[in-house]
Amino acid sequence: MGRSDKLHCSACRAYGTAVHSVLLSVQEIPYAELMASLDIANIRELEDLLITECFYSGLVTGKLDQRRQCLRVADAASRDVRAGDLAPVLAGLAAWYAGS
């Protein structure tokens, strides 16, 4: 598995696991936490991944704070609905359907 394949696999894991949930629930996440979750060894590789896989694709809006070594999250796109969040979504859809 080449370096770019490892980056791509790490990015896929990030969006399908708790990392994406963390991005939805916090405004600031330390590089160390992201690097541990993604199995990335250095800051440069992490920043490249965040820029190319998160910012450019529109999954995450935010800023990289190199001085404090953290990602400041302004917004994160949600791809999946957690089981606990499904009831309000269904209630909203039912209300919309009943009103149409």
Domain that holds residue 86: 3-99
Give residue 22's pLDDT.
57
Structure tokens at 53: 């896989």
CATH code of the domain in which 12 resides? 1.10.10.10
Residue 75 contacts residue 61 (beta carbons within 8 Å): yes
Residues whose CB falls within 8 Å of the CB of residue 78, separated by 6 or more in sequence, listed in order: 24
Over residues 50-93, the pLDDT tens digits come to: 888 888 888 888 999 999 999 998 887 766 667 777 787 778 77
Give residue 8's pLDDT.
46
Give residue 31's pLDDT.
94
Structure tokens at 43: 């800051």
CA atoms within 13 A on the CB side of 29: 23
R_g over Cα of the chain = 16
Give residue 66's pLDDT.
94
Is 19 a residue whose pLDDT tops 80?
A: no
**Helix residue ranges per DSSP H, the chain:** 3-16, 18-25, 31-38, 43-49, 86-99
**Confidence bin at 16 (pLDDT 50/70/90):** very low
Give residue 17's pLDDT.
43
Can you tell me the distance from the alpha carbon of 90 to that of 10, in angstroms, rounded to the nearest whole number? Answer: 32
- Number of independent structural domains in the chain: 1
Give residue 32's pLDDT.
93
